[in-house]
Structure 1
Amino acid sequence: MDNLRNRNTALVLIGAGLYILLGNLIGYFTVTAILVVGLGIYKLKSGENRTGYVLIGIGLMFLALSHLSIVFAVILISFGYYLVRSNQLQGNPSYTQRHNILESIRWNKEPWVLQNMAVWSIVGEMNLDLSLAIIEEPETTLLLQGVVGDIDIIVPDDIGVHIQSIILIGQTKIGLEQQDGLVTKMTWQSLNYDTAEHKVNITLSYVVGDVNVTVL
């Protein structure tokens, strides 16, 4: 019991010392924000997704308020990366490009036409049900990128789908596979991709994101 108490006391002292040291180096407000983000990531790994995302959001908001120049730099880098990737689609006649501060796409209630598309937003919400998609070409590419994204995609079994997802902070779930935390990278391909009549290639890239792909 005494050893456990001494260990806990030592950890508290070390933690307090590091907090004071880092607070003097980069500011107490920044250190507190980083701790809140870290707690949010811990909650995500513990399965408390809602609490985790709330804490991460609060921590990032605190960081944004104290480091506006860094936030602006992240936005510029994200948009620049999007422009580089979207250039790959511009030769296609059915290519659509959208970039907004806020973006909300909900194509999950009625039939919709699937085209080559690149979308970038600072904050984006997308619900895509590919089982309702009217597909006009043998192969289609979707490029979805931004700073903060909440992405829900439904994949039917009659379409060949390839997904590549890169999320710096957050969660990616494709079928039964799931990754969460910092820098999650996942690549998934449906079993019928090589033989499917219609193929859809989806690239997802967000600084903070929650990606959920349901495979039917």
Structure 2
Amino acid sequence: MKQIQTGRFLAAISFVALGIFLLLINIGIISMEMTEAIVFLYPILLVLLGGKYLVEALLPSVRRKKWFTGILLLTLGLLLVLDRFSILSFSLWSFWKLWPLIFVLFGVKLLSKFRKNQGFSLVRSNSYKKPNWKVESVNDWSFVCDYDFDFSTTLIPEEETIIKLSGFVGDINIILPDDLPFKVEGSGHVVSAKIDKHNQDYVGRGHSLSYQTDDFDDSLQRLVFYLDFSVLDLRVDRI
């Protein structure tokens, strides 16, 4: 079975609903001016768009999870829909009242970590240095984390292994064999990174961390690191 593309599916449903609604207006079943129709309909589109982001956030194949955008649009749309049906009073200018959703987002993000190959902890310290430790893909979130990886002490599988780490503060040290292809992609507001003698330091939003070896694309045996922290201190050495 082919995987349904949720974005296109919800967009199609939106157009069908919009077309039917406008058709009912044109043939006189629903008496409403066009501007009133638009004001009435756009909250429904917000609900569908928010639902799209939340569904995509549940899919393992989606790397960039838009939890906050989905929750915000869905909540805003639902409140406006309830207003249109006179169940409660809420306007678009009441948007600022939704700031407690930040706490909801944090709770949802914590709950989303209890999946296969995922873990959660406020403070985590892990060391992978023992001889012949098992190398496998990891997807982990911690508020504060300290990771030490030594891939020179073990056998690495003949495949792409993905290490995804995220949180608020990350202190990550990685030792790699000199002939092992790898890639690092990350983001953060405050980043201090030294990757194979290359320094990448910055402070502020809108920056990304990116590095890969020249032989990465042509290799089957390779490591990929995805790092997403507000504050990140990273060191990668090859021996």
Q: Normalising to structure 1: TM-score of the pair?
A: 0.55
> Is structure 2 residue 150 aligned with structure 1 residue 129?
yes
The CA RMSD over aligned residues, in Å, is 3.2
Q: Which runs of 5+ in 1 are unaligned?
A: 1-69
Q: Which residue pairs with 1:162 in the alignment?
A: 183
2:237 matched to which residue of 1? 214
Deviation at 1:193, TM superposition (A): 1.4
Which has the larger strand fraction? 1
1:191 is displaced (CA, Å) by 2.1
Preserved contact between residue 192 and residue 202 of structure 2 (Cα < 8 Å): yes
Instruction: Give unmatched runs, 5+ long, in structure 2.
Output: 1-98
8 A Cα contact 1:75 1:147, kept in partner:
no
Count of residues in correspondence between the two structures: 138
Q: Is the Cα–Cα contact under 8 Å of residues 123 and 145 in structure 2 kept in the other structure?
A: yes
The 2-side partners of 1:177 and 1:152 are apart by 14
Identity %: 25
Q: Does 1:107 align with 2:144?
A: no
2:225 equivalent among 189, 202, 207: 202
Q: 1:139: Cα distance to partner? A: 1.2
Which of 200, 206, 214 aligns to 1:191? It is 214
Does the CA-based 8 Å contact 1:159-1:197 persist in structure 2?
no
**What are the Cα deviations for residues 2-53 of structure 1, in whole angstroms up to 9, with x where unaligned?**
xxxxxxxxxxxxxxxxxxxxxxxxxxxxxxxxxxxxxxxxxxxxxxxxxxxx
The verdict on how the C-alpha distance between 1:163 and 1:137 changes in structure 2, with shifts beyond 3 A counting, is same
SS in 2 for 1:113: coil
- Counterparts of 2:220 and 2:152, CA distance in 1: 14
Query: What residue is the counterpart of 1:117 in the other structure?
Result: 138
- Does 2:117 correspond to 1:96? yes
> Is the 1:138–1:198 contact (alpha carbons within 8 Å) kept by the matching residues of 2?
yes
Question: Does the C-alpha gap of structure 1 residues 111 and 81 become closer, same or farther in structure 2, counting only changes over 3 Å?
Answer: same
The structure number with the bigger radius of gyration is 2
Pick closer, same or farther for the CA change 1:114–1:168 going to 2, 3 Å. Answer: same
SS at match of 1:114: coil
Residue pair 1:114, 1:134 contacting (<8 A) in 2 also = yes
Q: Write the letter of the residue equivalent to 2:123.
A: L
TM-score using structure 2 length: 0.50
Asked whether the equivalents of residues 110 and 120 of structure 2 are also in contact (C-alpha less than 8 Å), the reply is no
Tell me, in whole angstroms, the C-alpha distance in 2 between the residues paired with 1:211 and 1:141.
17
Tell me which of the two structures has the higher relative contact order, counting C-alpha pairs closer than 8 angstroms and 6 or more residues apart. 1
Is contact 1:82-1:120 (8 Å) kept?
A: no
State the partner residue of 1:8. Answer: none
Distance in 2 (CA, whole Å) between partners of 1:106 and 1:206 is 19
Give the aligned residue type for 2:177.
P
Correspondence for 1:152:
173
**1:186 CA drift (Å):** 1.8
